[in-house]
Amino acid sequence: MKNNEANTFVFIASIIIGILISMNISFSRSSEMVFLSTKQYHDAYNYKNKLYNDIVGLVEQYDKYSSKLEKYKSNEQSQEQVTEGIEEELRENEIIIGKTPVEGQGIKIKLNDASIEDVEDTFDYQLRLVHNTDIIQVLNDLRNAGAEAISINGLRIVESSEVYCSGPFLRVNGVKIAAEFSIDAIGNKEVLYNYMMSNENYLKTLMIRKLNVKVEQSDKIRISAYTDQPKLSFMK
């Protein structure tokens, strides 16, 4: 009799424990649905495309260098050909890092402060001005659109370029510039134009704020070289 009672107790306890475990598993597997805004979705989509393009570029670069290394190892090229290849690489790298003036098709963007005649308060006044954060957002959009070279008021933008607020001016590459801000970008002119003028990108925000925004395509844009030398205090 006692054995039957013990078995019954174990059976009931097992059922209860099983129910608790199954409930816990179902709770842990439940997930909340997250809804993204149009801008969040667009940003995530652009970031995914950028990562994909970066991966494709790295794979192509790896294949290119691997092929070149195999040629060096097998002595397929003469010393003169190797030297010419190295010099060509140096020229390409100088173009990429901005040390060489370049030209090509692209777009021109002009940004200027809006009229302040009907400004009602300080907040509205600030919205009518072009800030360094606005320039940075536009530069990021241009890079995402595939711009190969960019300049602001004739100053070449490179990886180390800074865009700071300096009172009524902006400081770019250590140089103070004032509105009107002229941004030139070299790349596929139609792709750049359509991307920058889409409703999800930052230029539309500037237009809503009533800033003066002009965008035009061009078959020939010239961008000067980056002339500043890096200041190295700790690297040897």
To the nearest whole percent, how much of the chain has pLDDT over 90? 33
Burial (CB count <10 Å: 0-12, 13-18, 19+), residue 13: exposed
According to the model, what pLDDT value does residue 2 have? 45
What average pLDDT does range 86-97 have in this prediction?
Answer: 73
Residue 136, domain CATH: 3.30.70.1880
| Domain contains 11 | no
**Do 107 and 86 fall within a single domain?**
no
Give yes or no for residue 16 having a pLDDT over 80.
no
Q: Looking at the 3D structure of the chain, how many domains does it have?
A: 2
- Position 8, amino acid: T
| Domain contains 13 | no
**Do 64 and 152 fall within a single domain?**
no
pLDDT tens-digit profile of 126-140?
888 899 999 999 999
* Dihedral class, residue 173 (left if φ above 0, else alpha if ψ from -120 to 50, else beta): left
Residue of 138 and 97 predicted with greater confidence:
138
Listed in order, strand segments (DSSP E) in the chain are 102-112, 149-152, 155-157, 163-166, 169-172, 175-177, 181-186, 212-223
According to the model, what pLDDT value does residue 228 have? 76
**Do 122 and 196 fall within a single domain?**
yes
**Do 46 and 153 fall within a single domain?**
no
Count other Cβ atoms within 10 Å, centred on residue 206: 20
Whether 112 contacts 130, CB under 8 Å: yes
Give yes or no for residue 43 having a pLDDT over 80.
no
Q: Provide the pLDDT confidence category of residue 64 given band limits of 50, 70 and 90.
A: confident
**Do 67 and 156 fall within a single domain?**
no
Domain termination site, one of 81, 96, 111: 96
CB within 8 Å of 214: residues ≥ 6 apart: 108, 109, 110
What average pLDDT does range 23-35 have in this prediction?
Answer: 57
Domain around 78? 38-96
Domain termination site, one of 96, 125, 140: 96
**Do 120 and 199 fall within a single domain?**
yes
Task: Of 76-80, 155-159, 177-181, give the lowest mean pLDDT range.
Answer: 76-80
